[in-house]
Amino acid sequence: MQSVLGIETSCDETGVAIYRSGAGIIADLVYTQADHAAYGGVVPELASRDHVRKLPGMLREVLDRANMVASDLDGVAYTAGPGLAGALLVGAATAVAFAAALGKPAIAVHHMEGHLLSPLLDGEDQLDFPFVALLVSGGHTMLVEVLGVGEYRLLGDTLDDAAGEAFDKTARLLGLGFPGGSEVAALAAHGNDQRYDFPRPMVNRPGLDFSFSGLKTHTRLLVGKVGPADYADVAAGFERAVVETLVIKCRRALKQTRHKRLVIAGGVSANRRLRQALDSALPGQVYYPPLHLCTDNGAMIAHAGWHRRGEGRTDGRIAVKPRWPLDQLRSPSSGER
Query: In the bound complex, what is the minimum distance in angstroms from residue 314's beta carbon to ligand KG4?
Result: 29
Q: Under 8 Å CB-to-CB from 263, ≥6 apart: which residues? A: 116, 119, 127, 131, 132, 133, 134, 146, 286, 287, 288
Helix (H) and strand (E) counts for the chain? 9, 10
Please check whether residue 281 is in contact with residue 251, taking contact to mean a CB–CB distance below 8 angstroms. yes
Q: Under 8 Å CB-to-CB from 276, ≥6 apart: which residues? A: none
Residue 72's identity, in one-letter code, is D
Query: In the bound complex, what is the minimum distance in angstroms from residue 267's beta carbon to ligand KG4?
Result: 2
Measured CA to CA, the distance from residue 113 to residue 303 in angstroms comes to 10
What are the respective helix, strand and coil percentages of the chain, to the nearest 5?
A: 45, 20, 35
Residue 168 partner contact from ligand KG4, Zn ion, none using kind-dependent CB cut-offs of 5 to 8 Å: ligand KG4
In the complex with Zn ion, the residue whose CB is nearer, 247 or 300, is 300
Give the residue, chosen from 185, 187, 234, 250, that forms a contact with ligand KG4 under the rule CB under 6 A. 185
Query: In the bound complex, what is the minimum distance in angstroms from residue 164's beta carbon to ligand KG4?
Result: 3
Give the residue, chosen from 6, 81, 164, 312, that forms a contact with ligand KG4 under the rule CB under 6 A. 164
Query: Is residue 182 part of the contact set for ligand KG4 (CB under 6 A)?
Result: yes
Query: In the bound complex, what is the minimum distance in angstroms from residue 64's beta carbon to ligand KG4?
Result: 26
Q: What number of chain residues touch ligand KG4 (CB under 6 A)?
A: 19
Ranges of beta strands (E only) in the chain are 3-8, 13-20, 24-32, 75-81, 106-110, 131-136, 141-148, 151-156, 262-265, 286-287
Give the residue, chosen from 139, 289, 305, 322, that forms a contact with ligand KG4 under the rule CB under 6 A. 139
Give the residue, chosen from 7, 268, 301, 326, that forms a contact with ligand KG4 under the rule CB under 6 A. 268
Where does this chain touch ligand KG4 (CB under 6 A) — which range of 66-74, 178-186, 276-284, 314-322? 178-186
Measured CA to CA, the distance from residue 118 to residue 294 in angstroms comes to 8
Query: In the bound complex, what is the minimum distance in angstroms from residue 47's beta carbon to ligand KG4?
Result: 12
Q: Under 8 Å CB-to-CB from 196, ≥6 apart: which residues? A: 222, 233, 234, 237
Give the residue, chosen from 296, 302, 307, 326, that forms a contact with ligand KG4 under the rule CB under 6 A. 296
Instruction: Determine how β-strand 24-32 pairs with β-strand 13-20.
Output: antiparallel
Query: Is residue 289 part of the contact set for ligand KG4 (CB under 6 A)?
Result: no
Measured CA to CA, the distance from residue 332 to residue 337 in angstroms comes to 8
Query: In the bound complex, what is the minimum distance in angstroms from residue 257's beta carbon to ligand KG4?
Result: 24
C-alpha to C-alpha distances, 16 to 43, 131, 257, 290, 317, nearest whole angstrom:
21, 28, 35, 17, 21
In the complex with Zn ion, the residue whose CB is nearer, 179 or 237, is 179
Where does this chain touch ligand KG4 (CB under 6 A) — which range of 1-9, 70-78, 100-108, 263-271? 263-271
Residues 257-316 that bind Zn ion (CB under 5 A): 296
Where does this chain touch ligand KG4 (CB under 6 A) — which range of 43-51, 160-168, 314-322, 328-336? 160-168
Give the residue, chosen from 3, 33, 137, 285, that forms a contact with Zn ion under the rule CB under 5 A. 137
* Closest C-alpha to 32, from 17, 15, 18: 15
Residue 268 partner contact from Zn ion, ligand KG4, none using kind-dependent CB cut-offs of 5 to 8 Å: ligand KG4
Residue 182 partner contact from Zn ion, ligand KG4, none using kind-dependent CB cut-offs of 5 to 8 Å: ligand KG4
Measured CA to CA, the distance from residue 13 to residue 30 in angstroms comes to 7
Residues at the site binding ligand KG4, with contacts judged by CB under 6 A: 11, 137-139, 164, 167-168, 179-182, 185, 266-268, 270-271, 295-296
Residues at the site binding Zn ion, with contacts judged by CB under 5 A: 137, 296
